[in-house]
Amino acid sequence: MANIITRKSVMTLFSSPTCAMSHCARFVLHEKAVAADIEYYDPTDAPEDLLELNPTGTSPTLIERDLVLYDTRIIMEYLDERFPHPPLHQMDPVSRANARMLIKRIDQDWYQLLEEIQGSGEKKASKARKILRESILSATPIFAARPYFMSDEFSLIDCAIAPLLWRLPSLGIDISTPNEEIINYAQRIFKRPAFKRSLSDAEKDMTDVIK
């Protein structure tokens, strides 16, 4: 890998090829059609030149000139503000604040369970899998009510949800409902060109929802 410091004029996103949070950042990057390099790496064995700028070695890490960001939601917000078209956040302050709170709840209620499933023993993972499935299914009316999650317009909230939904089949979680409300929502997002471009090779094999 070339020395990062010599390429600071080029926006670079360092990303795990399988991490859902990293996938969120890649999704936003492609929705914005940003000319950036995406470099995949193993966060458990981060390259030394990346560690010089981000000592944690966490994924994703966004580097642009002297800016180094390694929090997924901050990266998503930065990309939306740095490249304002198309906007992925509502324009008024109240709606933006509500969207941020909703994403925070998604992280707390769903992504924490995803981490437990992926990082725990089978007994604990099985319990987390059941809770996550029930929690997502309880939101069926929200998925069904509008084209996008609590909105008529595609937003950062959808960018936060889609990578999690994409991984559910590979985790053995069935979110089918009689009228397929959640599956229909998922297909609507998964068919977006930006989402397809955001997938790493490893992620392409995680589900057959859109095949």
Question: How buried is 88 (Cβ within 10 angstroms: 0-12 exposed, 13-18 middle, 19+ buried)?
Answer: buried
Q: Tens of pLDDT along 152-189?
A: 999 999 999 999 999 999 999 999 999 999 999 999 99
| Statement to judge: residues 103 and 166 lie in one domain | yes
d(CA 25, CA 100): 15
- For residue 120, is it within any domain? yes
- For residue 203, is it within any domain? no
| Statement to judge: residues 53 and 109 lie in one domain | no
What CATH number has the domain bearing residue 159? Answer: 1.20.1050.10
d(CA 74, CA 14): 15
- For residue 45, is it within any domain? yes
| Statement to judge: residues 118 and 157 lie in one domain | yes
Q: Tens of pLDDT along 106-152?
A: 999 999 999 999 988 889 999 999 999 999 999 999 999 999 999 99
| Statement to judge: residues 137 and 171 lie in one domain | yes
Question: Residue 100's domain spans which residues?
Answer: 93-192
| Statement to judge: residues 48 and 131 lie in one domain | no
Does residue 210 surpass a pLDDT of 50?
no
Q: Average pLDDT for residues 78-86, to the nearest whole number?
A: 93
What CATH number has the domain bearing residue 13? Answer: 3.40.30.10
| Statement to judge: residues 50 and 97 lie in one domain | no
- For residue 99, is it within any domain? yes
| Ramachandran area for residue 180 (φ above 0: left; ψ -120 to 50: alpha; else beta) | left
Of 58, 82, 106, the last residue of a domain is 82
| Statement to judge: residues 183 and 128 lie in one domain | yes
Does residue 4 surpass a pLDDT of 60?
no
| Statement to judge: residues 98 and 77 lie in one domain | no
d(CA 117, CA 137): 17
Overall number of domains in the chain:
2
- For residue 197, is it within any domain? no
d(CA 86, CA 20): 23
- For residue 61, is it within any domain? yes
**Confidence (pLDDT) at 191:** 96
